[in-house]
Structure 1
Amino acid sequence: MGTITSRKKKDGSVSHTAQIRIMRNGVRVYQESQTFDRKPAAKAWMKKRETELAEPGALERAARAGATLRQMIDQYLEQFEKVRPLGKTKRATLRAIAESWLGDVMDADLTSQKLVEYAGWRASEEGGGVMPQTIGNDLSHLGAVMAVARPAWGYDVDPHAMADARRVLRRMGLHSKSRERDRRPELDELEKLLEHFQEMQQRRPSSINMLKVIGFALFSTRRQDEITRIRWADLDEEHRRVMVRDMKNPGQKIGNNVWCHLPDEAWAILQSMPRGCDEIFPYNSSSISAAWTRACKFLGIEDLRFHDLRHEGVSRLFEMGWDIPRVASVSGHRDWNSLRRYTHLKQNVDRYQGWDWVQVIVDAPVELGGRVKGG
């Protein structure tokens, strides 16, 4: 089935080309060759490949054209978006990986060594000089593609490549989980922001009412996207709770609907919103983010993210002496272990007790303008 051809090169050395041909009914159905500097190495490779190709289905796999990682990512994004919309971060990360040199790697060549090489490249200046947490996120999103590539589409992907690569990268210090932020806003920072948005509201009454949004985010512990999705129809007036649809969850997002209790301050802010739209806070999530970022920059407030309001809200509940189940009924956490990092906080202290801004936020007028149904 195989032959070895030796050829003398110009520099006087000899190369040995091992070639495998498979014939069926007088027709060549498969051919493969590889060149070596040493004849024993050529013989060893040929023997190994002949054994591999004799395995059931091996010849069909070897003869297939294969696919690049870019093609696998494109197929993943196209098919999974139809049944389970992906987050914008995951989508953007996979697009970036597809456009990198790793996107040109064939499925059969996507080994743990290639993944380790990619991680090293990402850590280098050429690859962006990113932190191990970012590399970990890259591999996490890529791992989702590789996990379904073989069983769903028949691509020749090593099922152990990602796990092996992660073990190596952890030893090298190039792979780690995202660090938990512990940034909490100071009261004077919140007051500066609220004063800033109060002035803006007076100049442009129909703009996003950031006073209401910030206050509700703080006291309800709701995420930015969740705030803009909740609807009046999802409100349980009797039990003072709201259905948060598609709540973020590591294992599930779409269809992960959770009833969340609303503390008194959050309930009062919500009830102060006009009922002119289906959504309680009928604003664009990206616009909220942009307004927050611009305000922080203008006011010189550093490293404060809108999401830190959720961390602040959860911290406050623990400081008020609430236990994990009660806090989880507000935050929506299903895994109570993620709340254990808050239990060290000093209890029976509410830094917002008697805070004048609570009533200011509740009393702030709201003009929905063109957002009103039929408006």
Structure 2
Amino acid sequence: MATISKRGSMWRCQVRKQGYPTQTKSFEQRSSAIAWANEVEAQMHRGTYIGSTSSQSTTVQEILSQYLKDESRKKAYPAADISRSKPLLAALGGYHVHNLSHADLARYKATRLATVSPQTVTHELNLLHRAYVLAVNEWGVILPNGIPKTSRPRLPPGRGTRISPEDIERIVNVTESPQLKLIVPLAVETAMRRSELLAIRWENVNLSRCSIYLPRTKNGMSRTVPLSSKALAVIGELKQAKEGPLFTLAASSVSQAFDRAVSRAGLKGVRFHDLRHEATSRLFEKGLHVIEVARITGHKTLAMLDRYTHLDVSQLVRKLE
């Protein structure tokens, strides 16, 4: 609703509408004030108004950049958010936050699905949504039409193939990386992620209690991973120290060395992350129940844990006999 009042020789116009900061402007003529008020109210009604004193002028690029600065840096692995923000910024960064619509997000989703996996698109959309929520709840951004949304793409079923003990042995035997020869069996015995394996420090290894403490993990939670006798044997091959990392390879170097070893072993379609799938399946086959496995692997939801589990049917048959 507009209020027009005379202030000296000027006409002062104020427009108030729920969901928007009060807009004020002065004019020499009353007719100009009325015309401005009508236009502002019409734009507010359509959800397209950008006021010079309003947080409505904030862009998607600004809230994403602020989120990366304020929130992502607190995470154990902020590089993931930085990587996911790049396509969002390229495609949507120029939009004003209140102008980005559900349809815009749906088009972004469809375009990205043509080149990347549904899981990647889901991560990107979730990042943008978190930035919007923080902008509204903490930074004073006002969105009369609400936060733009689109349905998440359907995820494909988890990879159903297992990597056999023989294939794992072949990879270890052919790799030219001394550290990868130890990283691979430790991954299979602990179900740790690549980033977690490379973050292990001697001060967090408790050989007497057969465990490794991970203070920061991908999901933001710490956890303690028990060590099997085989895992202890692997660690025993390393030169022990009071502190410092067990492994000094960079994440990219581990992936490159693993891919080269897979190629030399004559295997196809095997990824380092498949070791975590294999390890998770083995934990269930050893008789551990769901909560125990989740405590070891760090999965926060049973649905995600299920995607990582591919039990050997022959073992299930034996249990039924």
Q: TM-score higher than 0.5 here?
A: yes
Which structure has more relative contact order (CA 8 Å, sep 6+)? It is 2
Q: TM-score, normalised to structure 2's length? A: 0.75
Distance in 2, Cα, partners of 1:159 & 1:271: 60
Cα offset, 1:236, TM superposition: 2.4
Asked if 2 retains the 8 angstrom alpha-carbon contact of 1:221 and 1:311, the reply is yes
Structure 2 equivalent of residue 362 of structure 1? none
Distance of 2:132 and 2:231 partners within structure 1: 42
Structure 1 residues 88 and 330: CA distance shift in structure 2, 3 A? same
- More deviation, 291-300/209-218: 291-300
Kindly indicate whether residue 46 of structure 2 is the aligned counterpart of residue 68 of structure 1.
no
Q: CA deviation at 1:81?
A: 4.0
Distance 1:304 1:316, change over 3 A: same
Instruction: Give the conservation status (yes or no) of the 8 Å contact 2:72–2:81.
Output: no
Segments of structure 1 that go 5 or more residues without pairing to the other structure are: 2-19, 32-42, 54-58, 201-206, 350-375
State the SS of the aligned residue for 1:228.
helix
Contact 2:98 2:145 in 1 (8 A): no
Distance in 2 (CA, whole Å) between partners of 1:266 and 1:237 is: 11
Is the CA contact 1:243–1:259 (under 8 Å) kept in the aligned structure 2? yes
The one of 124, 133, 150 aligned to 1:138: 124
Unaligned stretches of 5+ in structure 2? 13-23, 27-34, 317-321
Cα-to-partner distance string for 1:137-161 (whole Å, 9 max, x where unaligned): 2211111111111222222346743
- What code does the residue aligned with 1:269 have? V
**Change in CA separation of 1:300 and 1:279 when aligned onto 2, cut-off 3 Å:** same
1:104 pairs with 2:70: no
Once the two structures are TM-superposed, the CA of residue 311 in structure 1 deviates from its matched residue by: 1.0
Aligned to 1:122: 112
Q: Which residue of 2 aligns with 1:365?
A: none
Specify whether residues 93 and 27 from structure 1 end up closer, same or farther in structure 2 by C-alpha distance, changes over 3 A only: farther
The verdict on how the C-alpha distance between 1:334 and 1:262 changes in structure 2, with shifts beyond 3 A counting, is: farther
CA contact (8 A) 1:136 1:176 kept: no
Q: How many residues align?
A: 288
Choose which of 246, 251, 272 in structure 1 pairs with 2:237. 272
CA apart distance, 1:60: 9.5
SS of the aligned residue for 1:104 comes to coil
Q: Report how far residue 216 of structure 1 moved.
A: 0.5
Whether the aligned pair in 2 keeps the contact of 1:23 and 1:30 (CA below 8 Å) is no
Once residues 260 and 113 of structure 1 are traced to their aligned partners in structure 2, the CA distance between those partners, rounded to angstroms, is 44
- Residue by residue over 1:56-81, the C-alpha shift from the partner in whole angstroms, topping out at 9 and shown as x without a partner, is xxx99675261221122112112224
Q: Residue 57 of structure 2: SS of its match in structure 1?
A: coil
Contact 1:69/1:106 (8 A) holds in 2:
yes
In 2: Cα distance, 1:237 partner to 1:159 partner: 57
Aligned partner of 2:59: which letter? T
Correspondences of 1:171-190 after superposition (within 5 Å): 175-177=153-155, 179-190=157-168
Residue type of the alignment partner of 2:257: A
The question of whether the paired residues in 2 share the 8 Å contact of 1:21 and 1:30 is answered with no
Task: Tell me: CA distance 1:338–1:347, structure 2 relative to 1, closer, same or farther (3 Å).
Answer: farther
Aligned residue identity for 2:87: A
Which is further off, 295-304 or 215-224?
Answer: 295-304
Q: Relative to structure 1, is the Cα distance of residues 154 and 301 closer, same or farther in structure 2, using a 3 angstrom cutoff?
A: same
1:224 to 194, 207, 221: 194
- The CA RMSD measured in Å over matched residues stands at 3.5
Contact (CA 8 Å) 1:183, 1:304: kept in 2 or not? no
- Residue 136 of structure 1 and its aligned partner are, at CA, apart by 2.2
In the alignment, the residues of structure 2 paired with residue 268 and residue 24 of structure 1 have an alpha-carbon distance, to the nearest angstrom, of: 86
CA contact (8 A) 2:76 2:216 kept: no
Displacement of 1:82 in angstroms is: 4.3
Larger radius of gyration: 1
Q: Aligned letter for 2:280?
A: V
Any conservation in 1 of the 2:112–2:121 contact (CA below 8 Å)? Answer: yes
CA 1:299–1:113 in 2, change beyond 3 Å: closer, same or farther?
same
| Equivalent position of 1:248 in the other structure | 218
Counting aligned pairs with the same residue, the percent is: 23
Query: 2:184: which partner in 1?
Result: 214
What SS class does the counterpart of residue 243 from structure 1 fall into? strand
Partner amino acid for 1:272? E
Distance 2:93 2:279 in 1: 41
- The residue identity in structure 2 corresponding to 1:143 is H
Q: 1:305 — aligned with what?
A: 271
In structure 2, the CA distance between the partners of 1:224 and 1:134, relative to structure 1 (3 Å rule), is closer
Partner Cα distance (1:162, 1:241) in 2: 45
The whole-number CA distance in structure 2 between the counterparts of 1:144 and 1:337 is 22
Whichever residue aligns with residue 142 of structure 1, its letter is L
Partners of 1:262 and 1:330 within 8 A in 2: no
AA in 1 matched with 2:60:
L
1:36 aligns with: none
By how many angstroms is 1:309 displaced? 0.5
Question: Given the alignment, which residue of 139, 154, 169 partners 1:153?
Answer: 139
Q: Secondary structure at 2:71's aligned position in 1?
A: helix
